[in-house]
Amino acid sequence: MLRTIIRLLTLFFAAFIFLIGIAPPKQAPDTFQTQAFARLPLKYEGRRKPVDTFARNLLTVLSGRQSIRTDDGRSLSAVEWLLDGISGKHEALDYKVFRIENLDVLSSLGLEERKRFRYSYMELAPRMEELDQLARTAFAKENRARDLYDRQIIRLSNKVFLFESTLASFEDPSVIPLEQRLATAQRYMQLERNSIPLAVAPHTGQERWRPLMSSLLSGPMTSADPLAMKYAAFLQAYRVGDVDGFNRSLMEYGSQLNEENPAAFHKIGFELFFNRLDAFVRAKWMYLLVFLLSCFGWLLRKDGLLDVAGILMAASFIPHTFGIVARCFLSGYPPITNLYSSAIFIGWAAVACGIILEIGFRDRTRGVGNLIGSIAGFLTLLIAQYLAGDGDTMEQMRAVLDTRFWLATHVITVAMGYVATFVVGGMGLFYILAGLFTRRLDAATEDDMYRMMYGTTCFALLFSFVGTVLGGLWADDSWGRFWGWDPKENGALLIVMWNAILLHARYGRMIRHRGFAVMAVFGNIVTAWSWFGVNQLSVGLHSYGFTDSAGFWLMVFVLSQLVVCGLGFIPSPYWKSGAGVE
């Protein structure tokens, strides 16, 4: 009876964590209906999305957060911040939203280091000439010749241009001088044309999405687009603080657009729900809780803690799954299209493997599946949260990659090979640390873990090999050659070869339990290199996932795995598990 009550309370706790805050906040009738504004559709980077998504992504790119705190202590959501900016409120230029962490960049621009490293547009404005010269110098270098300072300058320059172009597409040109915007446009010629938000949807008399200002200025005011005029009207009302005028014009705009082009609102409501659910961030912290409970439960032999951890693991896996399915529905693509989506998918599959292992091995190794699945889920979702800072994670695919068949076959299959290899490496890591620092790794537990590692390695070899072959077929279809020794292709081949070496060493009796575990941990390095490392080379046909600081964290990860491998060579008498370890 007590166990049933604990399970029900655990489920209630998980439901509370994932459901709290998903309902839209209620707004009084006499206040600005910003939630209604958040529901309006716009088109950006080739994808139709609600204003809410655009605001969240833009603020995340600039600031690394989805809300800001003003100097007077007010907290503004991403939508409120965007509305302040595009309506022309001059105080919006004083909001500290530009995150600049590089001390050399701060020194070059004459900015002082401060807590949280965030600066306003008005603080940067007097230094635009210096930034312009630095950006020109950095852009003139070849990609491989740019150092960290150059990349950070370019990154800041892109942020400034993104902010300026967004305001200019909505706003009165007097807010940002025309000369400055033209200089900015020249400075960033390399940016794509679709980097301007298109706020006015197709409707009667207009067949294309268009920026607000071009819709207003395309002809005499007497013949201006009436829908664009309504959009401009509620922005003007917001700027002067006219609540009734804002709400009325906003309602008129939404009603007319819905009447003339209801398809513009397709999936908008669902995407707003998806944004509020924030399934991946909530699941990340739940996986961390599962890991801690599983650690204590396994070390202290507390089945109750393991039971609670298992329930939380399954309960977190459900919204994680929903999030992936929702992304497929919204984007129209299979689960993996970029590094961000690969991280959330690999984490999801690792959690699924952990649940399967937990069900299949319920005796001596109970809790190991939860430990491995939860830490993999937490770390991959943490990586995904970092990668989300690059902008919309559901952007349109480039033409050479926009093939749904290969995305659904090669990419998913090779990702499953990544997952299985990481899971084996996680089990090897657990084997070494548990044997070295605890007395839980007796002979029977060791045998069970060895069988788990062996079976998962067979799975990893199969999927990594098939996925690599499918990748060659895709390359032949897209580029006219099956294999070209591209860095990414070499990385995929390394995973296949390492899993094959691992199995051959086992069949040839060159290694036993501990040797298998050490080689499995080294497999984490091989897989991480294929997943992230080759992208840091900035060469080859697959070098479109570069991130500035990934190289540092990749090296930290590699060093940590080498340390664990070194611990695996400590002689058995020094292991707490002692003679039971082979």
The full DSSP string for 331-345 is HSS-S-SSHHHHHHH
Task: Give the pLDDT band (50/70/90) at residue 201.
Answer: confident
pLDDT band, residue 536 (cuts 50/70/90): low
- Give CA–CA dist 534/471, Å, rounded: 16
- The one-letter code for the residue type at 39 is R
CB atoms within 10 A of CB 520: 30
Q: For 399-411, what is the mean pLDDT?
A: 73
Instruction: Say how far apart CA 455 and CA 270 lie, in whole Å.
Output: 40
Distance CA 290, CA 305 (A): 9
Residues 404 and 517: their CA atoms lie apart, in Å, by 37
Q: Angle of helix 303-331 relative to helix 279-300, nearest 10 degrees? A: 160
Q: Which of 45-49, 338-342, 376-380, 548-552 has the lowest mean pLDDT?
A: 548-552
Most confident of 5-9, 24-28, 422-426: 422-426
Percent of the chain with pLDDT over 90: 46
Average pLDDT, the chain: 85
Quick one: 440 exposed, middle or buried, by C-beta within 10 A (0-12, 13-18, 19+)? middle
Contact (CB, 8 A) for 518 and 569: yes
- In this predicted structure, what is the pLDDT of residue 184? 45
For the ranges 218-227, 285-294, 540-549, the lowest mean pLDDT is seen at 540-549
Which of 478, 402, 509, 433 is CA-nearest to residue 47?
A: 402
**What pLDDT, on the 0 to 100 scale, is given for residue 371?**
92
What does the pLDDT read at residue 548?
A: 56
Contact partners, residue 536, CB within 8 Å, separation at least 6? 546, 547, 550, 551, 554
Residue 314 burial (C-beta neighbours within 10 Å; 0-12, 13-18, 19+) = middle
What's the confidence (pLDDT) of residue 402? 55
Mean pLDDT of 405-430: 91
Provide the percentage of residues in the chain whose pLDDT is more than 70. Answer: 89
Comparing CA positions, the residue from 450, 427, 254, 236 lying closest to residue 350 is 427
Q: What is the pLDDT of residues 54-96, one digit of tens each?
A: 999 999 999 988 899 888 888 999 999 999 999 988 889 999 9
Give yes or no for residue 339 having a pLDDT over 90: no
Selected residue with higher pLDDT from 363 and 198? 198
Q: Which residues pair with 198 in a beta bridge?
A: 43
How sure is the predictor about 218, in pLDDT bands with cuts at 50, 70 and 90? low
Whether pLDDT at 174 is above 60: no
Distance CA 329, CA 268 (A): 12
Question: Is residue 498 over pLDDT 90?
Answer: yes
Phi, psi of 480 (to 5 degrees): 80, 15
Q: Give the integer Cα–Cα distance in Å for 390 and 377.
A: 21
Confidence of residue 45 (pLDDT cuts 50, 70, 90): confident
Q: Locate 139 and state its tokens.
A: 């852009």
Q: What is the pLDDT of residue 63?
A: 92
Q: Which of 145, 95, 137, 155 shows the shortest CA–CA distance to 120?
A: 95
Predicted TM-score (pTM) of this structure: 0.88
Q: How many Å separate Cα 400 from the centre of its chain? A: 22
Q: What is the pLDDT of residue 275?
A: 92
Strand partners, 77: 67
- 579 pLDDT exceeds 60? no
Q: For residue 186, what pLDDT band results from cuts at 50, 70 and 90?
A: very low
- Is the predicted pLDDT of residue 157 greater than 70, yes or no? yes
CA angle 117, 60, 540 (to 5 degrees): 100
- The shares of helix, strand and coil residues in the chain, as percent rounded to the nearest 5, are 70, 5, 25
pLDDT band (50, 70, 90) for residue 265: very high
Residue 178 confidence (pLDDT): 44
Residue type, 491: G
- Worst-scoring range by mean pLDDT, 326-340, 344-358, 496-510? 326-340
Q: Is the pLDDT of residue 115 over 70?
A: yes
Contact 158, 188 (CB under 8 A): yes
Please provide residue 402's backbone torsions phi and psi, each rounded to the nearest 5 degrees.
-80, 65
Q: What does the chain come to in residues?
A: 582
pLDDT-derived band at 173 (thresholds 50, 70, 90) equals very low
Buried b (16+ CB within 10 A) or exposed e, 547-569: beebbeebeebbeebeebbebbe
Q: How confident is the model at residue 283 (pLDDT cuts 50, 70, 90)?
A: very high
Query: Which token pair is 359?
Result: 């069900």
Of residues 324 and 439, which shows the higher confidence score?
Answer: 324
What is the per-residue pLDDT for 522?
A: 96
Dist CA 238 CA 225 (whole Å):
20
pLDDT at 546 over 60: no
Q: Is the pLDDT of residue 41 over 50?
A: yes
Ramachandran angles phi, psi of 481, nearest 5°: -145, 145
Element (H, E) at 75: strand 75-77
